Structure 1
């Protein structure tokens, strides 16, 4: 059955649509047309994404054409019908916007049925064109890279945002960054973003079940990186469950080559849910005794839960020989080798305050060079996998807590 959504403030037009479809359509709230597809989907009240969207453009033709253009770009499997009086230039403008048909505002029921039938056929054809060819093989999944630290204040978000920007440069439009610190995440600040939708929005409603809808809720960074920022209020974290996180990462891994997850400090339920989907760990510590001991405890806990993957990368931030610890001391304490050292550098603080990651602005300072090496470890197959520690348990699929 074709799913139809009608955006109109006209009660008369809605009544004729009801008669033409037998009530089998979803009327959107009688308000001005949404400004973008995400706003349109947010009005669906959790219903699946429509196959056909009808936009009443009688009072705002340019606005409707702009929305149709965005739908054609972001949701190419949706057929858009425009309700407007035919003008000399409207046909060409509508065609350029990807509109499939134009319906007169006073169209009779029979004409409405005819237009909707044509739009339904177009939607079916578009779905077959956009959908990947069927195969007996399971769908390919992207890599889920979780950036972890037992403590806060060690530069985890700095590493996560730079890693995501670097991966986005190697795979344009194929990288997404998720701020999973649902209470106090600051990915938006680190990237100088003002997101319209956040983590709390994408795990509920239609976005939680339809990857096409989900993509319209993502915030696009100027580097081509897609971002899901943390909620604006810590209270919103209570509305996000571990099941929500697991479902979100599964959907993203089917759509993106790289899914970078900036986790909250420690091992919260959200972080453990992410680890169930994680393919690569980036384990971060500062070069001090509390941080190093915390990382050892985290490694032991993850090994006990069977959540350590062979592909893991240990990063020491704020590395400074004058602090009384050497890399050898760190390795002896955590029981595995250190893969990268990020030195103390004023450039990091400046980049954070500007909201411009080092790998976005470029540069040749030691920190930027080490961050590039981290990106290379995640993109070059030969260097991405570390050998498991002899004393650690073999990784198992899924959590084993309390089982």
Structure 2
């Protein structure tokens, strides 16, 4: 059953303690508990013509990651004597420093208001909520959003690396390409990060010759404690300027990973880095598919063998079925023999996949093996090798996508 209230739509089929009212198109979210909604006078005709989203959540409930990622401003109920509620507010502020945040508080005395404002909260709104006060704060938030050009806070580009089958060299490509990307944009002040999301067999840290007592597991198990400071503690910076989050030291079951936590971690990374490379597991999960769907660039690594191409075709079909634009999918043919007569060529592969194959990497096992054993870039061992040019083409593809998105945002 769906009821129309003042231009606000309620879904009464859902649990009363967690539901959403009308999605406005201005990115302003109001989050209140059931008790505060009932105590307010915002229903009826008092907010006619206003555009906002009202989500009804308990004062200490986790905030939906999608809601936060889409928001330009959030008015959030806060209970000062509830530790979990205060942690939720602090985590929101820390993870999204450019987001407009208003704390809605009952009996907010001056010392508390001052403390909240000093902590970086943009404003404080008294509870129970009155329509006239809400209208005033909405007008103020709209002015702030307009002053910022209507843009949301910075969101770094996601680059996903997936594989047709295991052992095709996806992690090698991820570590080498991400390192080259980081080195090329370092002087411009841009930051690149690599997340090893292969939580069972991740090897990015090994290939880069780095180890850390803190890994991706600390972020996935951190709950609402995940903030910029924890992210900084987990990431390691390599000599190229690449920041790396290594895979867990212990094997984790794929089904044990909380999707909301994955999105929380990645969205935090997007606030802090310009480009994030995601080295994803070979087996699909709901969260890995969601990450790929959010990515600007998807690199699918395969080899020129019947088995690898057959699985790559299945992967492309799956991505298309999920509504992912095929133009975002870039096939990388790895370990290509540069011979005049090959059993399977790039044109053959493109025909077999029904998808372009514009990127390839030369087969130079001794050079690649030596670089991985030493934990260095291939470029540092043999800068003029064909494989270095091939890696540079992959980085150029990712960087062109970055520029294309920037131009689209300006337009």
Class of the TM-score when normalised by the shorter of the 2 chains: 0.5 to 0.7
Q: Is the 8 A contact 1:47 1:205 kept in 2?
A: no
Question: Shift of residue 203 of structure 1?
Answer: 2.3
1:330 aligns with 2:349: yes
Partner residue of 1:158? Answer: 172
Match of 2:185 among 171, 175, 184: 171
Partner residue of 2:315? Answer: 298
Relative to structure 1, the CA distance from residue 307 to residue 50 in structure 2 (aligned partners, 3 Å threshold; closer, same or farther) is closer
Partner residue of 2:391? Answer: 371
Q: Is the 8 A contact 1:47 1:206 kept in 2?
A: no
Relative to structure 1, the CA distance from residue 239 to residue 200 in structure 2 (aligned partners, 3 Å threshold; closer, same or farther) is farther
Relative to structure 1, the CA distance from residue 382 to residue 169 in structure 2 (aligned partners, 3 Å threshold; closer, same or farther) is closer
Q: Which whole-Å deviations, capped at 9, do the CAs of 1:222-246 have from their partners, x for residues lacking one?
A: 2211111100111365542222222
The range that moved more, 373-382 or 276-285, is 373-382
Aligned residues: 282
Query: What secondary structure, in the 3-state scheme, does the structure 2 residue paired with 1:318 have?
Result: strand
Query: What secondary structure, in the 3-state scheme, does the structure 2 residue paired with 1:148 have?
Result: strand
Query: What secondary structure, in the 3-state scheme, does the structure 2 residue paired with 1:299 have?
Result: helix
Query: What secondary structure, in the 3-state scheme, does the structure 2 residue paired with 1:341 have?
Result: strand
Q: Which whole-Å deviations, capped at 9, do the CAs of 1:345-398 have from their partners, x for residues lacking one?
A: 02111111222132455611111111011111222359979xxxxxxxxxxxxx
Q: Is the 8 A contact 1:200 1:239 kept in 2?
A: no
1:342 aligns with 2:361: yes
Query: What secondary structure, in the 3-state scheme, does the structure 2 residue paired with 1:306 have?
Result: coil
Query: What secondary structure, in the 3-state scheme, does the structure 2 residue paired with 1:380 have?
Result: helix
Relative to structure 1, the CA distance from residue 194 to residue 47 in structure 2 (aligned partners, 3 Å threshold; closer, same or farther) is farther
* Structure 1 Cα separation of the partners of residues 89 and 253 of structure 2: 22
1:124 aligns with 2:118: yes
Relative to structure 1, the CA distance from residue 358 to residue 224 in structure 2 (aligned partners, 3 Å threshold; closer, same or farther) is same
Relative to structure 1, the CA distance from residue 374 to residue 367 in structure 2 (aligned partners, 3 Å threshold; closer, same or farther) is same
* Structure 1 Cα separation of the partners of residues 92 and 396 of structure 2: 41
* Structure 1 Cα separation of the partners of residues 154 and 198 of structure 2: 27
* Structure 2 Cα separation of the partners of residues 143 and 236 of structure 1: 27
* Structure 1 Cα separation of the partners of residues 203 and 233 of structure 2: 21
Question: Shift of residue 342 of structure 1?
Answer: 0.7
Partner residue of 1:316? Answer: 333
Relative to structure 1, the CA distance from residue 203 to residue 331 in structure 2 (aligned partners, 3 Å threshold; closer, same or farther) is same
* Structure 1 Cα separation of the partners of residues 225 and 352 of structure 2: 42
Listed as ranges, the gaps of 5+ residues in structure 2 are 1-79, 98-110, 123-143, 406-411
Listed as ranges, the gaps of 5+ residues in structure 1 are 1-22, 27-44, 52-75, 77-116, 386-403
Match of 2:279 among 235, 238, 262: 262
Partner residue of 1:353? Answer: 373
* Structure 2 Cα separation of the partners of residues 300 and 199 of structure 1: 30
Match of 1:197 among 214, 221, 229: 214
* Structure 2 Cα separation of the partners of residues 140 and 46 of structure 1: 21
Q: TM-score, normalised to structure 2's length?
A: 0.60
Q: Is the 8 A contact 2:333 2:359 kept in 1?
A: yes
